[in-house]
């Protein structure tokens, strides 16, 4: 038996190849873009972890657990009313807690970005990218 016996051969020059694979979606993800996306995800994970640790140290782990979905406007977030009932907080206090969490997340994010650049005046530009 010859090598490659019982194997389907696909011609890269046949009209079928062009028709079949010409309609496949194009993946424009370059190695540079992939690296940048992974770097950003790593940075966001670090910020999230630091924020969770701060809440844990302040004995507010349950508050963090319930409000964390509000950082990203997740559809899995417990309603504000339910958060208030679970933590015995007024609706205004829940709203204020969400605002504080988001503000602190932003501060931590800016600090992480600042640690990666030379010129602090470029922080806003880096965060927008």
pLDDT tens string 56-104: 999 999 999 999 999 988 888 889 999 999 999 999 999 999 999 999 9
User: How many domains does the chain contain in total?
Assistant: 1
Residue 2 belongs to some domain of the structure: no
pLDDT band at 18 (very low <50, low <70, confident <90, very high): low
Instruction: Find the domain containing 65 and state its range.
Output: 42-128
Residue 94 belongs to some domain of the structure: yes
Residue 34 belongs to some domain of the structure: no
Residue 78 belongs to some domain of the structure: yes
Residue 33: C-alpha distances to residues 16, 29, 51, 79, 112 (Å) = 32, 6, 27, 36, 20
What pTM did the predictor assign? Answer: 0.72
Mean pLDDT of the chain: 85
Average pLDDT over residues 106-119: 87
């Amino acid at each position: 038996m010859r090598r490659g016996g019982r194997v389907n051969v696909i011609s890269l020059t046949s009209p079928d190849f062009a028709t079949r694979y010409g309609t496949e979606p194009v993946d424009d993800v370059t190695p540079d873009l992939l690296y940048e996306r992974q770097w950003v995800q790593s940075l966001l994970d670090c910020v999230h972890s630091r924020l969770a640790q701060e809440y844990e140290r302040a004995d507010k782990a349950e508050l963090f657990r319930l409000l964390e979905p509000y950082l990203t406007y997740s559809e899995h977030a417990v309603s504000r009313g339910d958060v208030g009932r679970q933590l015995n907080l007024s609706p205004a206090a829940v709203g204020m807690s969400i605002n504080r969490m988001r503000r602190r997340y932003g501060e931590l994010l800016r600090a992480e970005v600042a640690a990666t650049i030379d010129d602090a005046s470029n922080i806003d530009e880096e965060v927008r990218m």
